[in-house]
Each structure stands twice: as structure tokens, then as C-alpha cells.
Amino acid sequence: MADSSPLPELSQDSVDDVLELNKDLERIIEAVENISVQLTWMAYDMVALRTSPELGTSMLKLKEAYHKCRSIICGDRDQEPEMDI
């Protein structure tokens, strides 16, 4: 039969250190995941813009239209909507 010696007990300080290490590792992993997502979006944007340069102009027009609609719906008094006829 195998020797059944008990596992050494960890002191409270060791347990606290392990918990703190786990928290630090979780924060680092989350930060790396966020960076990875940002890099993915940057790469996507770069490929999309190189594939279709008109996309940038279209996105600016869409952004302007969004801000106009938002100012009308939300009642943003600082920006008067312009009427394009």
C-alpha cells in the first residue's frame, strides 16, 4: 500500500498569497483579452478600409446621420438639425 502521509497544511498567509495571486492573474487575463479584442477590431477595420476605401466615407456619413437623429430624438438643444432638401 502507498504511504498515506497527510498533505502539509498551508498557513493563512500562504492561502492569502494564493488568493491574491489568483486575483492578479484574473485581472491580467482580462486585460490581455481586452487588448486582443481591440487588435482584432483594428485589423478588421484596416482590412475593410483597404478593401473598400469608400467605406470610410460611408461610415462618416452614417455617423453624422446618427448624431442628427439622436439630437432630434433626445432633444439635444446644442446642435440644431440641418434640413437637407
- CA atoms of 39 and 44, how far apart (whole Å): 8
Instruction: Give me the helices (H) in the chain, please.
Output: 12-51, 54-74
What the block records as the C-alpha cell of 43 is 485589423
On whether residue 36 sits in a domain, the answer given is yes
- State yes or no: pLDDT of 64 exceeds 90: yes
In this structure, what DSSP letter does residue 69 have?
Answer: H
The pTM score is 0.46
Structural domain boundaries enclosing 35:
13-74
- CA atoms of 40 and 46, how far apart (whole Å): 10
What is the number of domains present in the chain?
1
On whether residue 21 sits in a domain, the answer given is yes
In this structure, what DSSP letter does residue 78 have?
Answer: S
**15-45 residue pLDDT tens:** 899 999 999 999 999 999 999 999 998 888 8
